[in-house]
Amino acid sequence: MVRGPLAGFLAGRDELIASARPGTAAAGTLATMTDEAVSALAEAASSRPRTPFALFALGGYGAGRLLPHSDIDLLVISAGGSKDLEPLVRGLLYPLWDAGFVVGHQVRTVADHARAVREDIQNLTSFLTARFVAGDRDIAARTLSETFRRLHKHAARARGEILARERPGSPYLLEPDLKEGAGGQRDIDELVWYAALAGGAPMHDAFGLFDAGFMRLAEFEALAEAQDALTAARWQLHAHAGRGRNTLAVEDAMAAGVDADAVQRALVSVHHTLATVRDRLAGVPEPDVKPLGLQDLIAAAERGPAALGELERAAWLGGLETAAPGFGALMTLRRPALSHRYTVGAHCLRTLTLLARPTTGAAPVALERGTADALVVAAIAHDLGKREAGPGHAARGADDAYVIATGLGLPDATAEAASALVREHLLLSEVATRADTSDEDVVLTAAARLGDLTLVRPLFLLTAADMQATGPDVWTPWRAALVGDLAAKMEAALSPDIDGAGIVAAAEATRAEAIRRASAVGASRTVIAFLEHAPLRYLAKRSADEVTRDARLVQALGGPGHIGEFAFRTRPGSAPGAWLLDVVTRDRPGLFATLAGVLALSGLDVLSAEAYTASGGIAIDTFAVAAATRAEVDDRSWKTFETHLDDALGGRMDLEARLAERHRHYARPSAHGDPVRVTAEGPGTFSTAVHVRAADRVGLLHDLAHALERAGLDIRRAVVTTTAGVADDVFEVTDAEGAPPEAATLAATAFPALEAVARAR
């Protein structure tokens, strides 16, 4: 039980945290209460030291802004040695430590402190908000006078060191660091530090910059409002988490009751106020509020990410309002979604700066004249439909794009092109990752939606930029390859030189070339028969060389044989650490689930998968895989896979039990709440697409496939993608008669099992 000076303090502190309105006032009250407790402890212990002392509060505590789980930073100044003060320090710190507080403390002489502040930037900045709490006022006054006298000589160097500090992240992040990140508390602190250096004394707010002519009154008032919003949010996070948490995750904001919109506005206000004051301190002239025109936006797109800061500043100053009325408000508009990291307006600006970089790390491409105008407008406008919450933002944004384009003086045809790009800006991504892009109907339908050959390339650039701007885990090399492949096929489908049967013609050309090459080297009848009867959609995905190699794998199966025979081939994939695996065997019920389960059991994550069945009941399955652990994929990995597959197909392994054991060992909790969604599209011409989104885990693909097969469905093809820990899989299925089932039938028969599997942990 806590006794003495802290007993009443702890009870009052708990009551304050539970009942106070979070914000600057509450933080100030908590600091005052803490002052009283610290002073009482110091007084109780001060009868023992033989030398006088002065006790200061530092940092946020010194500024009178103490949060529920902030450190209590203290400085003891004395003319004597630390041994003389040991009873005081013990009597002051031990009770605080015993009560569970994190207490930072330093014990120095006046001269030592002046030197420590000059030599260490952290010592300096923590003292620039110092506040006398207890002890000898003469020592405190001498400490302040001597420290700031020496600081005056080195003020320019101190400002330079402060200016060089790291400011991670962006004020437009949907999950920002409210303390150290751009626009957060440290940015406000920096302004206070400048005020203290200018005033020659510790400061607890930035009003001194107004007195010195470096800040306007309206800016100071906005800064005070932002301080209150940030302090309130951090107070709520501390109280909710039970610890000093400062990252505002979307889920935590909702659970803690944080006004995330107010926080976002505060971060942006602080960020740009700091940039403005920095310029004034450096003597940089005030920027003109110059409206950005079309050529400015094109130039920014060509400059790339280096132009982002200037675009954000222009949006803050209203420079985009002429081109896109209301755009400034979108810079703080939050529409949290899976993988999205930035506010709506900031995301659009990032998309603009990435237009000329279709692949991360690649050299920029030249934006083609004639389509650059429409593409730039589409980048700015593609998410403007999110002004209104809910689905359908692409269609709503298409109208915005047309208005913006005409407002910029572009001809009607260009405005229509910009509108079409915005309306279909999700087309390539959705079709490439959810549908069979080797199916002629899929490609032709996608091409018909866009309808214009000249827009395919701009749409690809917009898609690449949009996905890169969304987040680092979205535009992966594998997804880039999928989207690029679809764009190329759409160009072929829309080309005046190739009619609607172009994809079929291309597949037949691959077949003919593969047969020619195989015949030239005297290939067996088994190889030739496979090539003659390979399905069109399979041929459309492969070159003649790949088809011929697959035929040789089929030949390796030999004659009629038993059901367990298989052959496989591996090769490095296009992405680092990724491998491509081709497996051929005789088809049977549950084969795809078995292959997926064996891969999981072998420590391999499936990035993507495609399954085909050729004539004669030969299954051809292609997987893109990567290591599920930190170990690299090597020959031992494939030997393990071969052994497991042989046992599984031969009936010598209880695959379900082995997977359950591995799942228990490698269970990974989801970072995305409950993203489970099961839907069906169709029925299509040849199959019905079942789309499953769920948190990824060991054996998930196997379990989903097994659930479909238990429901009497045959998996004709699977498109598997995993992004940021979330599996987004599409299974093309047929019923027992080989027909595409109705979506309503699937909802009744298969969806419950799929949802149960997807939610299993």
pTM of the model: 0.73
Q: Grade residue 674 by pLDDT with cuts at 50, 70 and 90.
A: low
Residues of the chain with CATH 3.30.460.10: 5-153
| Helices 700-710, 655-665: crossing angle, 10 deg rounding | 140
Torsion of CA 487, 490, 491, 494, to 10 degrees: -160
CATH number of 5-153: 3.30.460.10
Among 406-415, 500-509, 688-697, name the one with the lowest average pLDDT.
500-509
DSSP label at 455? G
Q: Per-residue confidence at 533, pLDDT binned at 50, 70, 90?
A: confident
Backbone angles phi, psi at 418, to 5 degrees: -60, -40
Which residue would you say has higher pLDDT here, 234 or 610? Answer: 234
At the topology level, CATH places domain 571-759 in Alpha-Beta Plaits (3.30.70)
Is a pLDDT exceeding 70 seen at residue 262?
A: yes
User: Residue 738 pLDDT more than 80?
Assistant: no
Residue 197 near residue 158 (C-beta atoms within 8 A): yes
For residue 89, pLDDT over 50 is answered with yes
pLDDT tens digits, 466-499: 999 998 888 988 888 889 989 988 887 777 654 4
Whole-angstrom distance, CA of residue 511 vs CA of residue 533: 9
pLDDT bin (cut points 50, 70, 90) of residue 525 is confident
φ and ψ of 728, to 5 deg: -130, 90
Res 537 pLDDT > 90: no
pLDDT value for 145: 93
Query: Comparing 288 with 21, which gets the higher pLDDT?
Result: 21
pLDDT at 614: 74
Residue 444 · residue 500 · CB < 8 Å? yes
605: helix, strand or coil: strand
- Asked if 178 and 237 touch (Cβ cutoff 8 Å), the reply is yes
The closest of 129, 44, 48, 116 to 77, measured between CA atoms, is 116
Going by C-alpha positions, the residue among 539, 436, 449, 429 that lies closest to residue 494 is 449
Question: What mean pLDDT is reported for the chain?
Answer: 88
Full DSSP string of 240-256: HHTS---B--HHHHHHH
Q: How far apart are CA 714 and CA 729, in angstroms?
A: 16
Residue 686 is predicted with a pLDDT of: 67
Could you tell me the strand order of the sheet in which 677-681 lies? 677-681, 688-695, 726-734, 714-723
627-666, pLDDT tens digit by residue? 988 788 999 999 999 999 999 998 899 988 888 887 776 6
Angle at 38 (CA atoms; ends 36, 39), nearest 5 degrees = 65
For CA atoms 326, 331, 336, 337, the dihedral sign is: positive
Task: Summarize pLDDT for 299-348 with one digit per residue, the tens.
Answer: 999 999 999 999 999 999 999 999 999 999 999 999 987 778 999 999 99
**Residue 559 pLDDT greater than 60, yes or no:** no
* Better-scored residue on pLDDT, 70 or 616: 70
The region that residue 42 occupies, defined by phi over 0 for left and psi between -120 and 50 for alpha, beta otherwise, is alpha
**Distant-in-sequence, close-in-space partners of 11: CB < 8 Å, separation ≥ 6:** none
Residues of the chain with CATH 3.30.70.260: 571-759
The answer to whether 279 and 219 are in contact (CB under 8 A) is: no
Mean pLDDT across the stretch 740-748? 92
Is 438 or 461 the better-scoring residue by pLDDT? 461
- Say if residues 502 and 495 touch (Cβ distance below 8 Å): yes
Q: Which of 378, 304, 389 shows the shortest CA–CA distance to 348?
A: 378
Check the CA dihedral 184-187-191-192 and report its sign. positive
Question: What is the average pLDDT across 672-699?
Answer: 82
Instruction: Return the percentage of the chain with pLDDT > 90, whole number.
Output: 57
Whether pLDDT at 81 is above 80: no
